[in-house]
Amino acid sequence: MSSEGMSGEGMSLAQALSAAVAHHGAGRLDEAEALYTAILEQLPEQVDALHLRGVLTLQRAGNDAAGLEAGVALIRRAHALPAAVAVPDIAANLARGLSALADARQRANQPDLALEARLEIDALGAPMPPATRLALADGLAGIGAVVEAEEHYRALLTADPVMLAARVGLALLLARRGQHDAALGMLDALPPADAVSADAQRLRAELLIPTAPDQAEAVLTTLEAAVGTDADTCHAWGRLLQARDDITGARARYAQALALRPDHASARLAHAAACLRLGAWRDGFADLAWRWMRPATTRRHGAIPLWERADQDIRGRRLLVWDEVEADALPHLARLLPRLRDRGVDVVAEVPPGWAALLPTGPGQPLAGVTVATRGIDAVQADVQVPLQELPDRLALWDPAAFWSGPYLMAPAGVRPDLPAGRTVAVAANGGCPPLPNGLTAVAVAPPAPDAPEEWASLAATLAAVDTVALPAGILAHLAGALGRPGVVLVPPDADWRWPASGDATPWYPSLRLAHGRRWPDTLAMGSTA
């Protein structure tokens, strides 16, 4: 190596590196950077110069993500060299740089990139500060890596058994996995309600709502008295009131949460559901679009522009309508597809394979002119797209009477169900048979898998052929109502928003009567209100 390449003063590598480190330690970063750069120009893989140049770059970066990325890249190169084994500080500084980079990405609303950085720290095997491990566990839980997330939460609790943030994270994880008792166990013996324990206290209340609502109320009352009212606590109160069948009170609490924090996505969606159950269509459907604010929810066709506003003219354009992940969405709102067709829109409805044959699109049929694309089979091309459940908002349909235009689904021609003789009533196979008037024979039905078209055809044919139906609120009842079948639907207090909270009728399906409660009434009068 030429000594002139170092500084022009005949320094050896060791001397140049020693001088650079001295400048660096004394805070003379420009001089240190010049020497590190001179060394790397002649020896691009000199491990100490790479490492310390990276450390210097991190120092200068502060909270700037681009600078942090540049510093991490330099130290990462040093760490990959065989000589790095003899310098433990390289791994430690790489971990520190990655931690700072992860925080910067998190502040920039880039959670996926933040998680990547924290996973790299974990792969290094370097000591991980509790705050970094907690953020890693939360990130893993957010993407559904529950086993890995639980491992990190439990590692945190092994080191600090009373770490509230880890207990809350693990409790949430266990609750999502259906381990309700284990989740509550994580929140036993909480410290007195205060600002520090608020999240844990609130979560404990929410977990108590289904089985011990009085205890949940006591926890929320104590929490509110200790730390005041905030949006999250209002949301929890709304959930408690909803579980107690007070939908009106729940709506008021959700509205209070939104007044305190308008961007509270969970409260916004809960408010939407409460509004819709109470018949406040305009507010409900406008708020329903907030489901896209949840981190795990994405629109299906990202490359196709959205139909975003009711005043956006899409006449003459090809519109892709898709039914989202909720199975009830399609039988509930397929009725609106002709409204688009009648506005001069070229409508393509993307549906699961099982439903494709149930949409009557032939000449003279209710959905004539609508193109059906089978998901997973047919390629779709469109000018704009919209999720099915946003159609009421785009079409500005706020009058309940505007939602029914007669049966809009049909059983395929030629499918003949095998029914017993006499008068028959369709009941849910797994919902228990309600008390039936004399002379009616029960026919058990169940929803098939989404990709079983023959079974869906058979189900629709059975519902079309029975004399009446007695079904719980859900997809079977939606299909029966869309077919125009008469009967009664059992609507529990915590029913989906598509079912009204009170009254014996629904504007969605005039042929169906409603019975409210968790159990069928002792006397069940069958028939139609149509």
Q: Which residue has the higher pLDDT, 241 or 127?
A: 241
3-state secondary structure 450-514: CCCHHHHHHHHHHHHHCCEEEEECCHHHHHHHHCCCCEEEEECCCCCCCCCCCCCECCCCCCEEE
pLDDT, tens digit, 9 for 90 and up, residues 133-144: 999 999 999 888
Residue 226: predicted pLDDT: 94
pLDDT at 5 over 60: no
Q: In this prediction, what percent of the chain has a pLDDT beyond 90?
A: 75
pLDDT at 10 over 80: no
pLDDT band at residue 372 under the 50/70/90 scheme: very high
Q: How far is CA 415 from the centre of its chain?
A: 38
Lowest mean pLDDT among 11-15, 19-23, 429-433: 429-433
Residue 401: predicted pLDDT: 77
pLDDT, tens digit, 9 for 90 and up, residues 68-101: 999 999 999 999 999 999 999 999 999 999 999 9
Residue 419: predicted pLDDT: 93
pLDDT at 295 over 60: no
Half-sphere exposure of 123 (CA within 13 A, CB side): 9
8-state DSSP, 518 = S
8-state DSSP, 160 = -
pLDDT at 489 over 50: yes
pLDDT at 530 over 50: no
Residue 527: predicted pLDDT: 52
- Calculate mean pLDDT across residues 516-529: 73
Half-sphere exposure of 419 (CA within 13 A, CB side): 24
pLDDT, tens digit, 9 for 90 and up, residues 145-198: 999 999 999 999 999 998 999 999 999 999 988 899 999 999 988 999 999 999
pLDDT band at residue 293 under the 50/70/90 scheme: low
Q: Which residue has the higher pLDDT, 198 or 2?
A: 198
pLDDT at 374 over 90: yes
- Name the H helices within 244-328: 247-260, 265-277, 281-288
CA distance 29 to 24: 5
- Beta-bridge partner residues of 387: 322
- Calculate mean pLDDT across residues 508-527: 85
Is 496 within 8 Å of 272 (Cβ atoms)?
no
pLDDT, tens digit, 9 for 90 and up, residues 204-217: 999 999 999 999 99
**Which H/E stretch holds residue 319?**
strand 318-322
Residue 2: predicted pLDDT: 41
Residue 39: predicted pLDDT: 94
Return the closest-CA partner of residue 471 out of 446, 453, 500. 446
Residue 294: predicted pLDDT: 62
Residue 123: predicted pLDDT: 93
CB atoms within 10 A of CB 307: 23
CA distance 224 to 378: 54
Is 305 within 8 Å of 384 (Cβ atoms)?
yes
- Calculate mean pLDDT across residues 302-327: 89
Most confident of the ranges 288-292, 452-456, 517-521: 452-456
- Calculate mean pLDDT across residues 14-41: 94
Residue 526: predicted pLDDT: 63
CA distance 445 to 343: 37
Residue 524: predicted pLDDT: 73
Is 473 within 8 Å of 496 (Cβ atoms)?
yes
Residue 326: predicted pLDDT: 80
pLDDT band at residue 528 under the 50/70/90 scheme: very low
Is 350 within 8 Å of 320 (Cβ atoms)?
yes
- Beta-bridge partner residues of 52: none
Is 470 within 8 Å of 487 (Cβ atoms)?
yes
pLDDT, tens digit, 9 for 90 and up, residues 405-458: 789 999 998 899 989 999 999 999 987 778 888 889 999 999 999 889 999 999
- Calculate mean pLDDT across residues 292-301: 64
Residue 6: predicted pLDDT: 56
Sheet hosting strand 468-472, strand order edge to edge: 440-445, 423-428, 468-472, 487-491, 512-516
406 conformational bin, left if phi > 0, alpha if psi -120 to 50, beta if neither: left
pLDDT at 1 over 70: no
Mean of the per-residue pLDDT values of the chain: 91
Sheet hosting strand 371-374, strand order edge to edge: 371-374, 346-351, 318-322, 384-387
Residue 9: predicted pLDDT: 54
* b/e map 333-343, b = 16+ CB within 10 Å: bbbbbbbbbee
